Amino acid sequence: MAAASLTRRAVLARLGIAGLSLPAALHGQPASETHAALQQPHMRAALEALRAAKRHLDLATPDKGGHRVKAIELINGAITETQAGIAFDATH
């Protein structure tokens, strides 16, 4: 099962990369910016993992003594920081 899960993740990651390069090509974005975005596979994987964790927390039952809500807030902050790190690296 783990191998199948990794395969699905790899396929989704590649589709995500294709999704990033197509809009860049359509809008005439310089290849160097698209290339820079592809140079951060670990940051992008972390971002997707954070988004998946948030989806799971959103689906969880709400009565967790405020801990679920706090976890969602922290993940939202982590998503924002990860996006900022990706953007910073792409411009420096």
Q: Tens of pLDDT along the chain (92 residues)? A: 444 454 666 655 555 544 544 455 555 555 555 565 578 999 999 999 999 999 999 999 998 999 999 999 999 999 999 999 999 998 98
pTM (predicted TM-score): 0.60
**φ, ψ of residue 63 in degrees (nearest 5):** -80, 90
Q: Where are the domains of the chain?
A: 1-31, 40-92
Number of neighbours of residue 2 by Cβ within 10 angstroms: 6
* C-alpha torsion sign, points 79, 81, 87, 89: negative
